[in-house]
Amino acid sequence: MLKTKLAVTLLLGASLSAQAEMTSMAEQEMSDVSGQGGVYLSGEFAINKDGGPLWENGERYRYTRDANGNLTPVQTDACDNGVCGLRFAIKLNESSEGWYVLDDLSGGFAFEGLTLRTKPAGEAMNYDYMPDGSTTYEPRLENVDDEVVVIGLPGTVSFNNFKFKYAVANNGEYGVPLADGTPFRQTDIIGVQLDGDITLKGNLLLFPVD
């Protein structure tokens, strides 16, 4: 276990989930929060609502590579509704030949009331506590004298046609064959679409601990 790390702790009485039975902050906790300075954020994000700059005409290409390394398009893949989403590909290590891909990511989400501020922490639940000799974490209430960055969660986050595909591929760049000429391959595993509200209540505290 790392001796020093960034602790992410939730204030007692608050929680991070989408469950309906969550309880709101107590009056005293609210007054504690309103006595501090900070920034209150509201807004919404839209990802590739009209497509993106790389595949702006709604089509993606698959290429072949010649001896000089030049790429020539040989196949055109049309995106859903003529709008291509964002593609995020990750290769975990050298021994892994494949890439994990979040593909065709698009849609929007909105929130109201995310707050950022610093304050003396007071009491906080440390979920990262493991007693000596124990092999399991035992969350406990701790006094924290130092400043913490408090991220006040926004309550409701609304998703609007937020969607992506989870896939695996043999190259991170869409459509590009491997160096040995192996054509690009991608297998879509699952597609996810999200509409509606998620509830996020409570405060997220960030502070260094020994």
Partner 1 sequence: MKKFIPEVSALALAVAASNVSALQALNDDHMAQVTGQAGITIEQDTESFSASEISYTDDGVSLQFIQPEYTAANGASTFHTLSTIDVNEDGDFIYEVTGDERTFNMAGISLSGDDDNFFGLEGTYSDHLKLVIGSDDEGNIDLSGTEYQTEFSRLFFKDGDYDWILTDFGLSVLINYGRLINTDQGVMLDLGDETNRGLHFDYSVGGVGLGLGNDPFAADGSLNKAFGSLDISLDAYGSITLRGGGATGSEGITFIPGLTLINDDNADADASNDTPAFKYTDDGFIILAEDFSGTFSSENGFTLDLESDDEGSLLALRYQDFDLAFSLDNFILGGTEEDYLNGLSRTMGSFRGEIHFRDGIADGEYRENYMKFRAGGLDGDGITADISWNIVSDDPVMETDDIGSYNRPGDLNTFIAMNDDGNWVYFNGFNSYGSGRAYVDITKQSDNPGTNGLYSNDYDGYFDGLRITFQNVKGSYSFSGVTVGRDIKDAEGNVIGNEAEEAPLMGGTELLLALEVFPSYDFTLNGAITLTPGDVNATDPNDRQGITLNGDLYISDANAAVTVDEYGRGVWLTETNYDIHMRDASLTVTEDGLTFNKGLTWSRIEVGDVRFGSKYADDSKSLGSFTLERLEDGTTLSVASGGAGQVCIDGSLNGGGTGCADSNGDGIINSEDGVFIDRGEQGLNIKVKAIFAEDDGTDARYAGKGNRFSWTQPNGTTIALENFSTSDGPGSGTNGSQTNEYGLNIDIAVDVAPTIVRDQAGNLVQDDALGFAVYGRLHFKQLNIDGLSLAATPESTPQTLIQGIVVQNADIQANLTATPIR
Alpha-carbon torsion (29, 34, 37, 43), positive or negative? positive
Q: Closest CB to partner 1 among 61 and 125?
A: 61
Q: Shortest gap between Cβ of 196 and partner 1 (angstroms)? A: 15
Q: Is 87 in the site for partner 1 (CB under 8 A)?
A: yes
Which of the stretches 45-53, 124-132, 135-143, 188-196 binds partner 1 when contact is defined by CB under 8 A? 45-53
Q: How many chain residues touch partner 1 (CB under 8 A)? A: 79
Q: Shortest gap between Cβ of 134 and partner 1 (angstroms)? A: 21
The two three-digit tokens of residue 205, written as one number: 């505290």
Q: Closest CB to partner 1 among 148 and 157?
A: 148
Q: Taking CB under 8 A as the rule, which mask of x and - marks residues 140-169 in contact with partner 1? A: ------xxxx--xx-xx---x---------
Q: Are 179 and 148 contacting, i.e. CB atoms less than 8 angstroms apart?
A: no
Go through 68-87 and write b for each residue having 16 or more CB atoms within 10 A of its CB, e for each that does not. eeeeeeeeeeebeeebbbeb
Per CB under 8 A, contacts with partner 1 among 163-202 are 172-176, 201-202
Q: Residue 135 gets which letter from DSSP?
A: S
Which of the stretches 40-48, 124-132, 134-142, 185-193 binds partner 1 when contact is defined by CB under 8 A? 40-48
CB under 8 A, 24+ apart: contacts of 53-58 = 54/84, 55/79, 55/84, 56/84, 58/82, 58/83, 58/84
Q: Shortest gap between Cβ of 197 and partner 1 (angstroms)? A: 12
